Amino acid sequence: MVEPLISATNVTRTFGEFTAVDDVSLSVGSGEIVGLLGANGAGKTTLIRMILGVLGVSAGEITLFGEPPSRATRARLGYVPQGLGLWDDLTVQENLDFISGTYGKDAPELPAALGAIRTSLVGGIGLGHQRQVAFAAALGHTPELLVLDEPTSGVDPLSRARLWDLIHDAADRGVGVLVTTHYMQEAQQCDRLVLMSQGAAVAAGTEADIVKGTSVVAVQTARWHDAFTALSAADMVVMLAGTGVRVVGVQPDAVETALTAAGISGTVAAARPTLEETMAARERAS
């Protein structure tokens, strides 16, 4: 069997009395894109810090490329933090030169999209371009593994699509990718997902695996305001959906009963749950 690039086995990290990561296992193989999902405080960032080797484990084991995290393993991975890790007062080219220099490599060839802004200060270019520079910097030393923390937050959809093209191209070359996101459509770009809640990995697999078992009911009615108010009053998790509503974690007959009791007519049908709805249902149940 091929050694995974990241292998975390029963990893726990405590801070005093607080358990930030609780018995989590996770692996990322060559060419694989794995998404890490969860609410703020679920333990994603702590897990990533342990994988990067900047934070030790309290229990369990992490290996990168088959060995414990170290400076040597750090040189074989590319990391794009949420804050991008660029210098605003350096130009695009200077940033790439400087970052490549720390790896003892020459700066990568500038992607065509960045050619026109080679000499611009990073602080003066738009967020979409800044993210492209951060990607170029992270990929410059031809890493075998990419760790990306909310890589496309704040950019327009076409820029986001182009950033994901870069991620997929890297994966096609055999690079393993671990990516955190709050953006549910972005989760659909991943081969596998790991869902964390309160420090633990509570679900793993494809999107279809994770949403399985969550029930969602879609309600279409001319009176969505009344339906929303009545179903909320019945203590249901109600989501607005255009000019209809969706109810999470209940069966259609319960919704039908609540609507009838409130004198509201409409069509009620089971619907395919989204990841976001699944996370809301799990959080509510816990």
**Which residues of the chain form contacts with another protein (CB under 8 A)?**
37-42, 126-128, 153-162, 164-165, 167-168, 182-185, 188-191, 224-226, 228-229, 232, 237-243, 245, 274-277, 279-280, 283
Instruction: Report d(CA 122, CA 199) in Å as an integer.
Output: 36
Among 40, 140, 21, CA closest to 80? 140
- Quick one: DSSP state of residue 215? -
Least distance CB 240 / another protein (angstroms): 4
The two three-digit tokens of residue 256, written as one number: 């039908």
The two three-digit tokens of residue 198, written as one number: 């309160």
Least distance CB 76 / another protein (angstroms): 24
Identify which of residues 61 and 156 has a Cβ nearer to another protein in the complex: 156
Least distance CB 228 / another protein (angstroms): 5
Identify which of residues 83 and 104 has a Cβ nearer to another protein in the complex: 83
Buried b (16+ CB within 10 A) or exposed e, 158-177: ebbebbbebbeebbeeebbb
Least distance CB 230 / another protein (angstroms): 10
Least distance CB 277 / another protein (angstroms): 8
Instruction: Report d(CA 24, CA 201) in Å as an integer.
Output: 6
Buried b (16+ CB within 10 A) or exposed e, 227-254: bbebbeebebbbbeeeebbbbbbbebeb
Burial class (CB in 10 A: 0-12, 13-18, 19+), 134: buried
Among 158, 156, 137, 157, CA closest to 148? 137
Least distance CB 68 / another protein (angstroms): 31
Identify which of residues 19 and 58 has a Cβ nearer to another protein in the complex: 19
Identify which of residues 120 and 232 has a Cβ nearer to another protein in the complex: 232
Identify which of residues 121 and 127 has a Cβ nearer to another protein in the complex: 127
Least distance CB 246 / another protein (angstroms): 9
Instruction: Report d(CA 157, CA 142) in Å as an integer.
Output: 27
Identify which of residues 77 and 248 has a Cβ nearer to another protein in the complex: 248
Instruction: Report d(CA 114, CA 105) in Å as an integer.
Output: 20
Identify which of residues 107 and 201 has a Cβ nearer to another protein in the complex: 201
